[in-house]
Amino acid sequence: MSSPLRLGIAGLGTVGIGVVRNVRQKAQLLAARSGRSIEISAVSARTRDKDRGVSIASYDWEDDPVTLATRDDVDVFVELMGGSDGPAKAATEAAIAAGKHVVTANKAMLALHGHDLALASEAAGVALRFEAAVAGGIPVVKALTEGLAANEITRVMGVMNGTCNYILTRMQSSGLPYDDVFEEANQLGYLEADPSLDVGGIDAGHKLSLLASIAFGTQVDFGGVALEGIEKVTIDDIRQADDMGYRIKLLGVARMTARGLEQRMSPCLVPKKSPLGQLDGGTNMVVLEGDEAEQIVLRGPGAGMGPTASAVMADVIDIARGFRVSTFGRPATSLEAASPASTATAVPYYLRMALHDKPGALAKVATVLGDAGVSIDRMRQYRHKDATAPVLIVTHKTAPAALEDALAAMSRLEVLASAPVALRIESV
């Protein structure tokens, strides 16, 4: 058997300790599957003397992750600190410069600096792997770079943030409003220290930009992702979407068009009997569509110690085997700068509005929609006790520009009691 593959692990939070446990408890399995033993040489974290549930006393300690990344007895630098810049980026760059392979779970760093890091790693002849950065335990990066490598990818779509999916499905099952479920998720420890990373769609947008780079051969362009979070989704939206046969999901969609690369992360309606519609709790799902394989659906836990450590170790094992693949599935020098494009695809829309309960109000709304070329498929008006009438409309397929024109004209009618809510309905 070959010499051991030696790891240096920076970051001993949930995922880092999961990796330590995996290496310790599955030493024989890892060696059998990779053809060599996998060992930990040294570790680094913010605090040394902390009860992590597993002893790290047998490993060398480094206060500085950059020093850890450049040690002679480290073959693979495992970056699990997080953060788009700072120590994570500095240590990753140092590892690459020192000829070390890098495995990371850091989607924020890669979404902002992935292309430069890929260029550096490929020039240095070392691997930069990030399966754990996208969708936790789901092997979606390997699916795109390996299993679907012979496909022209036509669409990437999915639920990529377990916290948002928990909030939306909890609202659905409990009937509780957004604010109550948000606080519940916070108490359970599901939210990031900055909750906007989750509910604002930023975390999921990072992941979508990485998958889009692999799928469409472009440089990572997080800035080109149109972001809209779930903060405005109400319990009324949840109930009324259900009444019309839909579920609301924070859905990422990326596709290449003649105008450029569309990337968006926003609340959408999906048929409740579809795979995405049936996705509950903190689970993730990614749908990949290719010209040869057609539609592939991948479902699994999007976070947690075991699933994410599993993804980290999958990359480590590939390196131990000597398997190499370009960071984004093709040489970084060949990746083209993405030309961002807003979506122009015509889809049905869900519209929720509250109208002043006066004669002719609904007729005026229908006229405005018709004048803009927006055709109504279904419409419902719900019982009400006050002077505002809740109205729900589902349109036929409509171009986004036509809907925007209709909403702008509608706002000038003085029949709306509040701003209307418009959500796309995605086919799955």
User: Would you name the residues annotated as active-site residues?
Assistant: 207
Q: What spatial distance separates the first Cα and last Cα of the chain, rounded to whole Å? A: 47
d(CA 32, CA 248): 44
Query: What is the 8-class DSSP label of residue 416?
Result: B
Q: Closest Cα partner for 348 from 288, 423, 237, 261?
A: 423
**What is the DSSP secondary-structure string of 254-300?**
EEEETTEEEEEEEEEEEETTSTTTT--TTEEEEEEEETTTEEEEEEE
Reduced to 3 states (helix: H, G, I; strand: E, B; else coil), residue 41 is strand
Strand partners, 43: 9, 61
Q: Which residues contact 385 (CB under 8 A, 6 or more apart)?
A: none
| Alpha carbons within 13 A on the beta-carbon side of 382 | 17
Q: How are the residues of the chain apportioned to helix, strand and coil, as percentages rounded to the nearest 5?
A: 40, 25, 35
Q: Which residues contact 94 (CB under 8 A, 6 or more apart)?
A: 66, 69, 70
Q: Closest Cα partner for 257 from 155, 332, 348?
A: 155
Reduced to 3 states (helix: H, G, I; strand: E, B; else coil), residue 104 is strand
Reading the block at residue 379, the tokens are 């419409």
The residue assigned the tokens 């869900």 is: 350
Amino acid identity, position 216: F
**Spacing of C-alpha 385 from chain mean position:** 41
Is 190 within 8 Å of 168 (Cβ atoms)? Answer: no
